[in-house]
Amino acid sequence: MVQQNNQNSDFEVYLSRVEQHISTLSGKPKKLSQVKILILRTLWEEGSQFPKGWVLSNKLLQLTEQKYFDRRIRELRNEAGCTIETGIFNGRSAYRLLTDQLGQAFDRTYLTAAQKKKLFEKFNYQCAVCNRSFSPGEKGLEADHKIPLIRGGSSNLDNWQALCIDCNVSKRRSCQDCQENCYQCAWTFPENYGQITPVSLPNQLLNSLREIAQKKGVHSQDLIIEAVEKLIKEQS
């Protein structure tokens, strides 16, 4: 019981530090949403030492009752500096809190309604990745930072694109822990690198692919394209 009380007390101190940390970005006090607090508390309580234990994504999905709870995790990581790691545990997507130290946080800028309308008109109310069309005012089309803030992207209008909610979620998950060149990525510049075709690869194969790409100084997708072209040529 004493250990549990100490853990709760330590979490409240940590939570206060997080809110103080994000308040320095905007210059005014901010409060975390109840969903974000629930996520942090769940990660915090998974063990008594750092790094904390892994929490499966389906558990967080059930607790938050939010289909896109991973967006809240991204905001905690990018905008609040929380050191939340994404990984695979027992073959399933999972998250854990690495330390109670806070990293660099980024002050997220949102487009005004007028700016968002201008952006959507620029893209003809179509998703830049899958070309799905929307009617003005129809839900499902979102404004996305082409190069994420955490990777050095800006909030200038030329760093925004229109993505449908499905492609935006897929892009966000692809960006997690990715260290490849954003300027050679089809998620960032679909107009240069073609339409995205999701490919599911085992983690070991994906890691090997990234290592080879890094040694060659190219993007992983270039190696995949090369392999597919070679296969098609051999079968022709």
Q: Is residue 5's pLDDT more than 60?
A: no
Q: Which of 177, 183, 182 minimizes the C-alpha distance to 207?
A: 177
Pairwise CA distance, residues 164 & 127, whole Å: 5
Q: Please state which of the ranges 23-32, 48-57, 165-174, 225-234 shows the lowest mean pLDDT.
A: 23-32
Q: Is residue 2's pLDDT more than 50?
A: no
Mean pLDDT, the chain, whole residue set: 85
Q: Is residue 224's pLDDT more than 70?
A: yes
Q: Label residue 107 by pLDDT band (50, 70, 90).
A: low
Task: Give 63-86 pLDDT, tens digit per residue.
Answer: 999 888 888 998 898 788 899 988
Q: Label residue 199 by pLDDT band (50, 70, 90).
A: low
- Across the strands, what pairs with 93? 88
How much is the average pLDDT of 13-39? Answer: 82
At residue 23, the pLDDT reads 77
Q: Label residue 39 by pLDDT band (50, 70, 90).
A: very high
Pairwise CA distance, residues 152 & 159, whole Å: 11
Q: Is residue 145's pLDDT more than 50?
A: yes
Contact 78, 105 (CB under 8 A): yes
Which structural domains are found in the chain, ordered by start? 2-97 (1.10.10), 109-195 (3.40.1800), 199-236 (1.10.1220)
| Strand positions, DSSP E, 24-168 | 55-56, 84-89, 92-97, 141-145, 160-164
Q: Is residue 18's pLDDT more than 80?
A: yes
The verdict on pTM exceeding 0.75 is no
At residue 179, the pLDDT reads 74
Contact 75, 25 (CB under 8 A): no
- Across the strands, what pairs with 55? 95
Three-state DSSP at 133 gives: strand
Q: Each residue of 118-131: b (16+ CB within 10 Å) or e? A: ebbeebebbbbbee
At 234, which amino acid appears?
E
At residue 124, the pLDDT reads 96
Three-state DSSP at 85 gives: strand
